[in-house]
């Protein structure tokens, strides 16, 4: 039988383990502070030695091998330690109705249905082995925790150790044989003698003296080390213009750039104390940008955009997260199987997996697999879709209901369409549209493979809705975007985007979002909702588009997305003010949520009429947007 997942990889965090943005930043900040303190123990030569390493390493790991930053969402707690996860509000999972005797394997799978199999009984020797592995993980975590302690704590620990040693010495003494002496200069050998009432006071005085000497020498060491630290900080200077030019011809190696990035961040984090008097914050930021573009391989445009979005330390977290592949995740096709059955089938093939988190009852994280996960018999039989965890979110927000009429306006290759169809239990109708016929081949194939029978696929420019068809209960617009949230999947985004691209995209997004809104029937008895999502983190493509929609369509309002994690959207950004309700939108980041960068906004349509001025309304329903000029009647006005 396959093994249970050993929680060795990052997984999207469950709701209650979300790492708040501020905390991430603080984490790095603390680390940088700690690195500075640690460097008391290292002279600058040692520091320079570090730069002799070549190759790109995570900035977090740069400061030294012993200092460390916990990757923001890095480790799931050990399976043994995790509490059973309560049922989520998702209603797509078929409850386990099986009764009677439960086999060992069933017992494991029963826990899967509980949202995790953390409490599954250990079944075999190999499980026991894994348990001890998990304990090893605890050990290493403890080590890490110690290495992250502020020096003051480590020092007090040392003191404690000294005390312990002293106590040990004392007790040893008390066990030894009897020598009586008042000589202040007794040898240690003498000390090893028995403690008597007569020499007790003398021994105590001597111990006090020793301790005082240790403390004095420790103080001295700290003073010296402090001077070294100050010296190191003074040593860091920005490169001159000549050096910058020279570096264009002969770039530094990555480890030197890495070191300089860290030094600049350290200075920026404590600018008043650590700056060079002749250099401005702008100078440091300029150099930082140059270095990060080089180190991470972004063009200047995108680097600027992303540095606008995050504080510097958090930007580093974001860039680092983009260097790491997100966990492979799959979504159970509940039209064909249950997650517990699917998990069991894959485990039987040797796949190492775990539930994604308590926020989804259909998702599984695949840690490793001896077989291609896109070619198992279960995959071929349509029991699951390989789908990024973030891509579940817009559908969860849309929450399509059975028997509804739902439009997925830009649907290919169909991850979200097929999830909608499954939530609707193959009832009602899903219109899966995409402007790209080529991409629709995959959409059609997925619809067939997953056994979906309530979906029609069509190939229009989304802007043609609602002329093509209107009156939907819900519309999903998973908009074409720049993909700045999925850089770990497509590194070309780092260099192939410009402001022109963003402008073109936002123009299209704005047109599409109005069409999406206009395609919904506000009077739907069960719906009247629109979800707008992108896999981009730029404000231009997210909040700015939603804000535009609110201004152009006063007949909609933002509502809670139902997603209980994710950072709230911006209500203002770099001098731009957005509607206060933008706080209801949700942002997801790779460094904070260990999933692709994503944005989700949910609207409720309040009326099918758009009041465009005091006395005119637009009614963009059905087969075309018609403008009806109406005399404003006080009684009937909205
Ligand atoms: C982010 S992808 C959609 C992914 C899809 N929702 C899924 O979950 O598999 C954006 C899609 O928008 C489509 N698209 C681009 N311009 C469009 C337009 N004007 N109308 C409709 N679809 C468009 C692209 O072909 C692309 O498939």
Residue pLDDT, tens place only, 273-313: 898 989 999 999 999 999 999 999 999 999 999 999 999 99
More confident residue, 636 or 349: 349
Q: Is 478 annotated as a binding residue?
A: yes
Ligand 1: which residue has its CA nearest to atom 23? 435
Task: Output the residue whose Cα is nearest ligand 1's atom 15.
Answer: 480
C-alpha distance from residue 571 to each of 173, 536, 542, 577 (Å): 69, 17, 11, 6
Provide residues with CB under 6 Å of ligand 1. 391, 409-416, 434-436, 439, 461-463, 478, 480
Distance, CA of 431 to CA of 382 (rounded, Å)? 20
Copy the structure tokens of residue 568. Answer: 């709230």
- Rounded percentage of the chain residues whose pLDDT exceeds 70: 60
pTM for the model: 0.68
Q: How far is CA 53 from the centre of its chain?
A: 28
Higher-pLDDT residue of 537, 205: 537
Helix (H) or strand (E) holding 358, with range, is none
Q: How far is the CA of 595 from the centre of ligand 1 (A)?
A: 20
Could you tell me which residues come within 8 angstroms of residue 122 by beta carbon, excluding any fewer than 6 positions away? 128, 131
Query: Would the annotation count 561 as a binding residue?
Result: no
Three-state secondary structure call for residue 603? strand
Report CA-CA distances (Å) from 59 to 296, 323, 512, 590. 11, 11, 40, 16
Residue 597 region, left (φ>0) first, then alpha (ψ -120 to 50), else beta?
beta
- Give the model's confidence band at 613: pLDDT under 50 very low, under 70 low, under 90 confident, else very high: low
pLDDT of residue 200: 58
The pLDDT of residue 563 is above 80: yes
Average pLDDT over residues 568-590: 97
Asked whether residue 97 carries a pLDDT value surpassing 50, the answer given is no
How confident is the model at residue 251, as a pLDDT? 85
pLDDT(420) > 90: yes
* Contact predicate 404/428, CB 8 Å: yes
Our mutation pick for probing the ligand 1 site, out of 388, 423, 434, 532, counting the most ligand atoms within 8 A of Cβ, is 434
The three-state secondary structure class of 630 is coil
Nearest atom within ligand 1 for CA of residue 481: 1
From 390, 396, 407, 410, the mutation candidate for ligand 1 (largest count of ligand atoms within 8 A of CB) is 410
Q: Among 102-116, 203-217, 487-501, which is the least confidently predicted range? A: 102-116
Distance 582 CA to ligand 1 centre (A): 24
| Ligand 1 atom nearest 476 alpha carbon | 6
pLDDT greater at residue 6 or residue 213: 213
ipTM of the complex: 1.00
CA of 439 to the centre of ligand 1 (A): 9
Q: Give the pLDDT mean for 380-384.
A: 98
Tell me if 239 is assigned to a ligand binding site: no
Q: Give the tens place of pLDDT for each residue, 6-57.
A: 333 333 333 223 333 332 333 333 333 333 333 323 323 222 333 333 345 5
Structure tokens at 119: 């409490």
327 CA → ligand 1 middle, Å: 23
User: 411: annotated binding-site residue?
Assistant: yes
What value does the mean pLDDT of the chain take? 73
Ligand 1, atom 25, lies closest to the CA of 436
Pocket test for ligand 1, best of 385, 407, 412, 439 (most atoms within 8 A of CB): 412
Q: Is pLDDT at 120 greater than 90 in this prediction?
A: no
pLDDT for res 29:
34
Q: What is the pLDDT of residue 58?
A: 60
Rg (CA), the chain: 31
**Percent of the chain clearing pLDDT 90 (strictly above):** 55
Atom of ligand 1 nearest to the CA of 391: 8
* Ligand 1 atom with the shortest distance to the CA of 480: 10
Confidence of residue 212 (pLDDT cuts 50, 70, 90): confident
| Reported confidence tier of residue 196, pLDDT bands at 50, 70, 90 | low
Distance (Å, whole) CA 434 – CA 432? 7
Using CA atoms of 357, 19, 303, 487 in order, give the dihedral in degrees to the nearest 10: -10
Give me ligand 1 centre to Cα 555, in Å: 25
Q: What is the pLDDT of residues 218-267, one digit of tens each?
A: 655 544 444 445 444 456 889 989 989 998 888 889 999 999 999 999 99
User: How many angstroms does the Cα of residue 408 sit away from the middle of ligand 1?
Assistant: 9
577 is in an annotated binding site: no
The confidence score (pLDDT) of residue 299 equals: 98
User: Are 357 and 18 spatial neighbours (Cβ–Cβ below 8 Å)?
Assistant: no
pLDDT of the residue at 249:
87
- Tens of pLDDT, residues 494-506: 999 999 999 999 9
Those residues whose C-beta lies under 8 Å from the C-beta of residue 368, and which sit 6 or more positions away, are 351, 352
Q: Which atom of ligand 1 is nearest to the CA of 409?
A: 21
So what's the pLDDT on residue 164?
38
Looking at residue 471, its pLDDT comes to 97
CA–CA gap between residue 333 and residue 93 (Å, rounded): 10
Higher pLDDT, 388 or 6: 388
Catalytic residue ranges: 535
Alpha carbon 71 to its chain centroid, in Å, reads 10
Nearest CA to ligand 1 atom 1: 480
Q: What is the pLDDT of residues 438-451, one digit of tens each?
A: 999 999 999 999 99
Tokens (6 digits) for 555:
């007949």
At residue 210, the pLDDT reads 73
| C-alpha 436 – ligand 1 centre gap (Å) | 7
**Ligand 1 atom at minimal distance to the Cα of residue 508:** 19
Q: What is the pLDDT of residue 234?
A: 54
- Best residue among 435, 452, 516 to mutate for probing ligand 1's pocket (most ligand atoms within 8 Å of CB) is 435
- Give me ligand 1 centre to Cα 397, in Å: 18
Mean per-residue pLDDT, 188-197: 45
382 marked as binding residue: no
CB 134 within 8 A of CB 78: yes
Residue nearest to atom 5 of ligand 1 (CA): 411
pLDDT band at 380 (very low <50, low <70, confident <90, very high): very high
Residue 413 counted as an annotated binding residue: yes
Opening angle at CA 502, ends 498 and 507, nearest 5: 145
For residues 94-101, give the mean pLDDT.
31
- Dist. CA 81–CA 76, nearest whole Å: 10
> Please, which pLDDT band fits residue 564 given cuts at 50, 70 and 90?
confident
- Lowest average pLDDT, out of 162-171, 374-383, 466-475, 618-627, goes to 162-171
Find out whether 322 and 590 touch, Cβ atoms under 8 Å.
Answer: yes
48 known ligand binder? no
């Amino acid at each position: 039988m396959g093994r249970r997942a050993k929680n060795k990889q990052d997984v999207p965090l469950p709701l209650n383990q979300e790492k708040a943005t501020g905390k991430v930043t603080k984490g790095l900040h603390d680390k940088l502070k700690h690195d500075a303190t640690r460097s008391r123990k290292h002279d600058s030569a040692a520091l320079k030695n570090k730069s002799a390493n070549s190759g790109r390493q995570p900035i977090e790991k740069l400061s030294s091998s012993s200092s460390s930053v916990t990757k923001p969402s890095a480790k799931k707690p050990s399976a043994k330690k995790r509490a059973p996860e309560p049922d989520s509000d998702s209603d797509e999972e078929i409850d386990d109705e099986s009764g009677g005797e439960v086999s060992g394997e069933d017992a494991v799978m029963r826990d899967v249905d509980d949202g995790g199999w953390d409490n599954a009984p250990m079944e075999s020797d190999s499980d026991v082995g894994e348990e001890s592995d998990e304990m090893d993980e605890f050990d290493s975590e403890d080590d890490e925790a110690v290495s992250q302690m502020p020096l003051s704590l480590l020092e007090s620990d040392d003191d404690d150790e000294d005390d312990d040693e002293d106590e040990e010495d004392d007790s040893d003494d008390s066990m030894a044989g009897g020598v009586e002496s008042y000589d202040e200069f007794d040898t240690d050998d003498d000390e090893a003698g028995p403690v008597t009432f007569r020499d007790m006071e003398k021994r105590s005085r001597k111990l006090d003296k020793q301790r005082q000497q240790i403390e004095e020498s420790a103080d001295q060491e700290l003073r010296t080390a402090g001077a070294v630290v100050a010296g190191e900080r003074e040593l860091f200077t920005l490169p001159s213009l000549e050096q910058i030019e020279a570096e264009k011809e002969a770039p530094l190696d990555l480890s030197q750039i890495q070191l300089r990035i860290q030094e600049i961040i350290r200075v920026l984090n404590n600018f008043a104390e650590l700056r060079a008097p002749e250099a401005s914050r702008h100078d440091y930021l300029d150099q930082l940008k140059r270095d990060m573009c080089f180190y991470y391989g972004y063009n200047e445009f995108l680097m600027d955009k992303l540095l606008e979005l995050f504080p510097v330390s958090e930007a580093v977290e974001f860039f680092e997260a983009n260097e790491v592949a997100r966990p492979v995740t799959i979504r159970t096709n509940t039209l064909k199987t249950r997650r517990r059955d699917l998990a069991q089938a894959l485990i039987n093939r040797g796949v190492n997996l775990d539930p994604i988190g308590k926020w989804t009852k259909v998702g599984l994280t695949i840690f490793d697999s001896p077989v291609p996960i896109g070619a198992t018999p279960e995959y071929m039989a349509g029991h699951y879709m390989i789908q990024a965890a973030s891509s579940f979110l817009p559908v969860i927000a849309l929450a399509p209901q059975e028997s509804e009429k739902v439009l997925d306006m830009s649907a290919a290759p169909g991850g979200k369409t097929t999830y909608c169809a499954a939530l609707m239990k193959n009832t009602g109708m899903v219109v899966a549209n995409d402007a790209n016929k080529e991409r629709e081949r995959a959409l059609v194939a997925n619809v067939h493979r997953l056994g979906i029978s309530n979906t029609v696929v069509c190939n229009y420019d989304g802007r043609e809705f609602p002329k093509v068809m209107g009156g939907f209960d819900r519309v999903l617009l998973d908009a074409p975007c720049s993909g700045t949230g999925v850089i770990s999947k497509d590194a070309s985004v780092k260099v192939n985007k410009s402001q022109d691209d963003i402008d073109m995209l936002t123009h299209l997004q704005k047109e599409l979002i109005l069409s999406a809104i206009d395609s919904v029937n506000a009077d739907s008895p069960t719906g009247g909702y629109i979800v707008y999502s992108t896999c981009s983190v730029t404000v231009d493509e997210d909040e700015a588009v939603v804000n535009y929609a609110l201004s152009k369509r006063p007949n909609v309002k933002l509502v809670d997305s139902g997603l209980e994690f994710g950072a709230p959207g911006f209500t203002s950004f770099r001098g731009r003010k957005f509607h206060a309700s933008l706080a209801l939108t949700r942002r997801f980041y790779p460094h904070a949520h260990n999933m692709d960068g994503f944005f989700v906004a949910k609207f409720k349509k309040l009326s099918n009429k758009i009041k465009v001025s005091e006395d005119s309304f637009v009614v963009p329903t059905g087969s075309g947007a018609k403008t009806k000029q109406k005399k404003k009647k006080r009684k009937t006005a909205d």
